Chains A and B, each alone.
Chain A
């Protein structure tokens, strides 16, 4: 099967469009429900980053989403043409702090890294590119084939 590709203007309204596309992809490929949360969360966290950074520039910006199921895994590629920004480069937040010391910065990428098996960042051809991979546990013997395409 071909990957699903969707693009949208980098604005908050894109969230519903992209989440709907993700839901359709899940249903079409019969993917496990318990793996979906991590992708919905990653989609929102990265879109929010782009929208927040995108507000500082005048030109309209775009995001591109690609979803695929390589053997034994689910993969999402999230690209944008905003200023180069590597969210994987920041330090993990201190999750041991209580209410008085606690800030909110960095929690989104921290969650994504914890929930995914792999998060890779690259900047090429004027785009930020985040590649997220989550491995699928074989659900049952008849679905254990590594390539379900």
Chain B
């Protein structure tokens, strides 16, 4: 999987592409944690190009949400494909991280906080 970082209105947008399986989960989690610790207003993870996530991948989002909360910045996820959305829905992860339909809404939510 590939992660690319961009800055938008003080928010770091991490675009995650490919498959977030158990071999990808740990490096992804570390990238998220370092992006959160370096961010001004927080991190939005754009999942538009993400094809697959497993329970090991979900762990990275949980760790990210906790790290952002500890640092007092925002953390949100946007652009979930239907099959990825289903994984978040079936595990109740919409209550763990804030989900948004698109990037603009996710960035706006963090800028407003």
Chain A positions within 8 Å of B, measured between CB atoms, are 12, 15, 34, 37, 40-41, 44-45, 48, 93, 95-100, 102, 104, 107-108, 110-111, 114-115
Contact = CB atoms under 8 A, between A and B. Distances in A.
Given A15-B22, A45-B54, A96 B92 contact: yes
Given A97-B92, A115-B90, A104 B23 contact: no
Interface stretch (B6-14, B56-64, B99-107): B56-64
Nearest to A93: B91
Nearest to A96: B92
A98 B58 CA distance: 14
A58 B62 CA distance: 33
A52 to B, nearest CB: 10
Given A99-B97, A110-B91, 19 more contacts: A12-B22, A12-B23, A15-B21, A34-B83, A37-B86, A41-B52, A44-B21, A44-B22, A45-B55, A95-B95, A96-B92, A97-B92, A100-B69, A102-B62, A104-B59, A107-B91, A110-B90, A111-B54, A115-B90
Contacts of B59: 104
Contacts of B90: 95, 110-111, 114-115
Classify chain B: how many residues form its interface, as a range.
20 to 34
Contact of A108 (B54, B62, B66, B97): B54
A98 B56 CA distance: 18
A99 B66 contact: yes
Interface string B73-113: 00000000001001100111001110000000000000000
A111 B91 contact: yes
A99 B96 contact: yes
Nearest to B83: A37
Contact of B55 (A12, A97, A111): A111
B16 interface: no
- Sorted nearest first, the 8 A-B pairs with minimum C-beta distance are A95-B92, A108-B55, A107-B55, A99-B65, A104-B59, A114-B90, A44-B54, A37-B83
B113 to A, nearest CB: 15
Nearest to A41: B54
A108 B54 CA distance: 7
Contacts of A44: 21-22, 54, 56
B24 to A, nearest CB: 10
A33 to B, nearest CB: 10
Given A12-B23, A111-B87, A98 B96 contact: yes
24 contacts: A15-B21, A15-B23, A34-B83, A37-B52, A37-B86, A41-B52, A41-B54, A41-B87, A44-B22, A45-B55, A93-B91, A97-B92, A97-B95, A97-B96, A98-B95, A99-B65, A99-B66, A100-B69, A102-B96, A104-B62, A107-B91, A111-B54, A111-B90, A115-B90
